[in-house]
Structure 1
Amino acid sequence: MHNNPEHNDLEWPQLEAMKGHTEQITVPVAVKDAIQQGMWLGRKRKKRQMRMRVIYSTMCLLVLISVASVRFSPVVAAYVSDIPGLRSLVELINYDKGLQLALDNNFMQEVGISEEHDGIKFTVDGILADESRVIIFYTLDNLDGRKEVINLQNVKIVNDIEASLSYGSSEFNKEWVSKQGTIELNLQEGAEIPNTLELELNLGKDRVSTANSTLWHFVIPVDKEKFEGLKETYTINETATIEGQSITFEKMTVYPTRIGLEVVYDPSNSKKLFYFDDLRIKDEHGDTFGTITNGVSGSKIDENREVLYFQSNYFKQPNRLYLRASSIRALDKSKLEVKVDLDRKELLTRPDERLTLDQIGISILDFRLKNDDPLDENRTFNLFSNSYKDASGQSFDSNQSGASQGMFQYYIKNTDYQSPLTLTIVDYPARIHGDINIKIK
């Protein structure tokens, strides 16, 4: 989860895409009706003074797996069985074995505070927290059955803390009874978690309908002694070269809820390196811990440096660790700009013939992307930056985008432009291949 932060200014009906460092998870059709599928909604924030970093994973997909499709370890099942509200919430992290290990090791902090307004009960069930992030587990109960769609809106942490928020929206049946989800607080390096977190939010179908709605407020206690000092840091400083492109892996920090890997891309690279397809961490037993795919999966330090997040193996304490990868999505830096002629309704520049302009509507550009690469099966690309410019050089923000397999919608401001518009590619199904095999310890 862009991620981002910077998040949550987009409305659910218009979004089917994942922003920033995100991937798509396929869920069995048999449990489709039980799935709560959320999207990390977002847009780039205005830079604050003194902020060193901006989390740029702007949107990340949350998939809430059905109880029929998952199995929990006996340790987890026994631990949560006596805590109201937490047993079913464990399903929300079934996709992340690092978080499951945290539960196995009694790392969940029970909270159990709630408020009721207008037939809805919101309960903060518990939190998973370390020095890197806080995951807040919540339950929504439809007490009188009157509410059809209730999404989280205007979520914020009142405390002055260097962090960003990610949270999801859910699909609702007309007669829903209970919904569960998570809110993720991603801390910038060096940020301190207070003894209590003050959470505020609104509930409603969309931002417009919740403009004058009740403000919900929760004071969440945090047991800092439970996680203070729980991290391990490894200095790597190894450089890999793939098809002439250099990547340096500098440092890895292992926290109980995730791993952060600092990566530096050589500024002299001829290609823009977007994302690793299969970067993972393996131990001496062959157990693999991959990148985070449901939540914030990376944070940008500067143009050529970032932190990538992985599922955590903190509680396994492996004796040997290796970093492996075989392909990276990348594109020549000379091909990153796509120019759209608004008058002739055509593309003046594009990376290759696979990208085409389908149509131009009011405040929207419709693209098609032909892609038969098996590595991209079930993957939806966030093609463009949310900032674009016209021929005069004036910059604009695209607040919304939407995607489905092979289709991409890019929303633009309804105003007079000097054609053409220039859009910048931030991900594309072009690749470099090679073997990365680095020993971490």
Structure 2
Amino acid sequence: MFEREEEMINESKKRLDEVSIPDELVNSAIQEGLQKAKAKRRKRRKTIWTLGVAAVLMLAFTTSIRVSPAFASAVASIPGLERFVHILQPEFDKGLEAIIENEYYEPIAISQTRNNITFTLDGVIIDETGAEIFYTLEAPRSIKNIDYGDIKFLNGDRELVGSIAYNSPNQEDDNRKTDKFSFTFVDIEKFKTKDFTIKFEVKEGREDLTSFEIPFTIKNDLMNGKVFEVNEEVVIDGQKVFVEEVKIYPLRVALTMRFDEGNDMVLLQFEDIRLEDEKGEVWSSIRNGSSGFGGLGDLEKTFFLQSNYFKEPKELYLKFDKVQALPKKESYLLVDFSKKEILEQPSFEKIKVTKILSGGLELEYKPIKENHTYSLFSRGENANGEYVDIPYQSSWQDEEYQYASIQLEGNIMNPVKLPFDAYPNYLKGSASIQIK
């Protein structure tokens, strides 16, 4: 069906590194991925919004890449893809061609108009771990500064529980916004129907809300995960890690690990965790959106990697190094918000609290990883040991520093303990396990 598009994509890939790319093509919604295109990075301030749920460690994303005009043109020629070519994320860089060839991306093209705003559901990619919902908003007025209220995704009449991430990209037209909602489910979902509904609210100002609700039915069969039982233990810098299983889905790879309770360090982010085939090709690495389930103190975590579901390598290896970690006794901030004091913090002093607000913090640090923003916290604990939510986090950066702002919600009984989910302190060593 897509012979012409396949030829164009293959030709584009050959010419990718030969194309000179001007600054104007930078879009803050597009992610790192085709960085071999050699161009100067445009200076700008970036802001990230995350919506979290309990037990979900969600790392939001907003960075930039350079896109080959030839490749973009090829992708845009495929029915349904032309409307969001500028927001394709890096997790699709290797898998996009395979998703298209196997017709797993599904065009929808359903529109709904409310309050002179037209929402078009361009297309979807859905599997048992989550969904990518591509859409366009248009209006006869500027919608440059809109925000979102409730965002829900339903299978039949059942709401799917998980995290939602979305960008706030720079747009060429103030009255047109092309973006996507990224859903990551808390549990692996076994759908009972192919009928879905996307519901969300658009905010214009504090009180002006416009609600959209679009039901749709997919034609694709939802593909099951490929499961590799691993059950192997590795030791890195004295810390024991037990790798339980690897499940490969069209949208992402789910890697489940368990950490030894006797470890003296809390393991945070695995910056360089990847799957490699027998030729040494890295075909699955850490995603630039949600990185997994589980928070600080959880002895079992699920990490999400990029996926290339439709490839079948002869051999497959799980490798990781550059693991963020903190001593258990220094793995958090202890904050008295009433006195605006930091009572306890890591001795490494690589993240600085610059401002204590009423139930919130602002922080400054050197970027932990180039073009990848980690959320520093996912939840807190008050003096009574009760859970304190962090529903809002934002991040931006300048030429030198990364900045973060968090806002707590709930019973802020001081002092409040804020365990770190990310911190630029690393274990020494690496690990390699053959899984196929």
Residues 399, 29 of structure 1: alpha-carbon distance in 2 compared, 3 angstrom cutoff: farther
Name whichever of 196-205 and 289-298 sits farther off. 289-298
The change in CA–CA distance for 1:359 and 1:29 in structure 2 (over 3 A counts) is farther
Identify which of 415, 419, 433 aligns with 2:428: 433
What residue is the counterpart of 1:135 in the other structure? 132
Q: Among residues 67, 78, 81, which one is paired with 2:77 in the alignment? A: 81
1:183 partner letter = F
Distance 1:140 1:103, change over 3 A: same
What residue identity is the alignment partner of 1:216? F
Q: Show the counterpart of 1:7.
A: none
Is the contact between residue 166 and residue 295 of structure 1 (CA under 8 Å) also seen in structure 2? no
Query: Structure 1: which amino acid aligns with 2:259?
Result: Y
Residues 366-405 of structure 1 aligned to structure 2 (within 5 Å):
366-369=362-365, 371=366, 376-377=369-370, 380-390=373-383, 396-403=388-395, 404=397, 405=401
1:313-340 deviation digits (Å, cap 9, x = unpaired): 2212111111111221011111123233
Looking at structure 2, the residues matched to 365 and 431 of structure 1 have their Cα atoms a distance apart, in angstroms, of 24
Contact 1:284 1:319 in 2 (8 A): yes
Q: How does 1:33-112 map to 2 (within 5 A)?
A: 39-45=48-54, 54=55, 56-63=56-63, 69=68, 71-72=70-71, 77=75, 81=77, 83=79, 85-96=80-91, 97-112=94-109
1:219, CA displacement in angstroms? 0.8
CA contact 2:32–2:65 (8 Å) conserved in 1:
no
Partners of 2:434 and 2:131 in 1: CA distance: 30
Q: Which amino acid aligns with 2:90?
A: Y
In structure 2, runs of 5+ residues without a counterpart are 1-30
Query: Judging changes above 3 Å, is the alpha-carbon distance between structure 1 residues 59 and 26 closer, same or farther for their aligned structure 2 residues?
Result: farther
Give yes or no for the alignment of 1:217 onto 2:209.
Answer: no
Shift of 1:241: 0.2
Cα distance in 2 for residues equivalent to 1:62 and 1:333: 30
Secondary structure at the aligned position of 1:319 is classed as coil
Alignment counterpart, residue 184 of structure 2, candidates 183, 186, 189 = 186
Would you say 1:123 and 2:138 are equivalent positions? Answer: no
- Cα displacement (A) at 1:171: 3.9
Contact 1:110 1:127 in 2 (8 A): yes
Q: Distance in 2 between matches of 1:141 and 1:333?
A: 49
Instruction: Work out the CA distance in 1 between the residues paired with 2:64 and 2:348.
Output: 37
Aligned mates of 2:178, 2:418 — CA distance in 1: 37
The runs of 5 or more residues in structure 1 that have no matched partner are: 1-22, 46-53
d(CA) in 1 for partners of 2:381, 2:256:
29
User: What amino acid sits opposite 2:58 in the alignment?
Assistant: T
Relative to structure 1, the CA distance from residue 243 to residue 169 in structure 2 (aligned partners, 3 Å threshold; closer, same or farther) is closer
Higher deviation after alignment, 270-279 or 305-314: 305-314
Shift in Å, 1:431: 0.9
Maintained 8 Å contact 2:287/2:306: no
What displacement does 1:248 show?
1.2
Q: Which residue of the other structure, out of 311, 320, 326, is the alignment partner of 2:321?
A: 326
**What SS does structure 1 have at the residue aligned with 2:100?**
helix
Q: Is 1:360 equivalent to 2:356 in the alignment?
A: yes
Aligned counterparts of 1:203 and 1:167: Cα–Cα separation in 2:
15
RMSD of equivalent CA atoms: 3.5
Residues 219 and 65 of structure 1: is their aligned pair in 2 closer, same or farther, counting only changes over 3 Å?
Answer: farther
Query: Which residue of 1 is the match for residue 25 of structure 2?
Result: none
SS of the aligned residue for 1:334 comes to helix
Secondary structure of 1:89's counterpart equals helix
Distance 1:341 1:24 in 2: 38
Q: Which residue of 1 aligns with 2:19?
A: none
Give me the identity figure in percent. 23
Matched-pair contact (CA < 8 Å) for 1:63–1:92: no
Cα deviation, residue 42, structure 1: 1.4
Counterpart residue number, 2:141: 145
Secondary structure at the residue paired with 1:268? Answer: coil
Measured after TM superposition, the shift of residue 240 of structure 1 is 0.8
Task: Kindly indicate whether the alpha-carbon contact (under 8 Å) linking 2:128 and 2:249 is maintained by their aligned counterparts in 1.
Answer: yes
User: Which TM-score applies when normalising by structure 2?
Assistant: 0.77
- 2:371 aligned with 1:409, yes or no? no
Q: How many positions carry a matched residue from both structures?
A: 393
What is the TM-score with the length of structure 1 in the denominator? Answer: 0.77
Distance 1:401 1:335 in 2: 22
2:248 equivalent among 254, 259, 267: 254
Q: Secondary structure at the match of 2:233?
A: strand
Decide whether the 8 Å contact of 1:335 with 1:351 is kept in 2: yes
| Letter paired with 1:81 | S
Q: CA deviation at 1:130?
A: 2.5
Per the alignment, in what secondary structure is the counterpart of residue 277 of structure 1?
strand
Find the residue that maps to 1:238 and give its secondary structure.
Answer: strand
Relative distance call for 1:70 and 1:252 in structure 2 (3 A) is farther
Q: Which amino acid aligns with 2:324?
A: R
Provide the C-alpha distance between the structure 2 equivalents of 1:255 and 1:349, rounded to a whole number of angstroms.
41
SS at match of 1:279: strand
Question: Which residue is equivalent to 1:195?
Answer: 194
> How far is the alpha carbon of 1:422 from its aligned partner?
3.1
Mapped contact 2:316–2:435 kept (Cα < 8 A): yes
- Describe the superposition over 1:356-407 as per-residue Cα deviations: whole angstroms up to 9, x where unpaired: 44343444434444x59xx6445545333432424x6565434434444254
C-alpha deviation, 1:174, in angstroms = 9.1
3-state DSSP of counterpart to 1:214: strand
Q: Which of 146, 154, 157 is the equivalent residue of 2:153?
A: 157
- Matched with 1:50 is none
- Judge conservation of contact 2:276–2:282 (CA < 8 Å) in 1: yes
| 1:348 Cα deviation after fit | 3.0
CA distance in structure 1 between the aligned counterparts of 2:32 and 2:133, rounded to whole angstroms:
22
Structure-2 residue corresponding to 1:263: 257
**Secondary structure at the counterpart of residue 275 of structure 1:** strand
Q: Which amino acid aligns with 2:392?
A: Q
* Alignment partner, residue 316 of structure 1: 311
- AA partner of residue 141 (structure 1): E
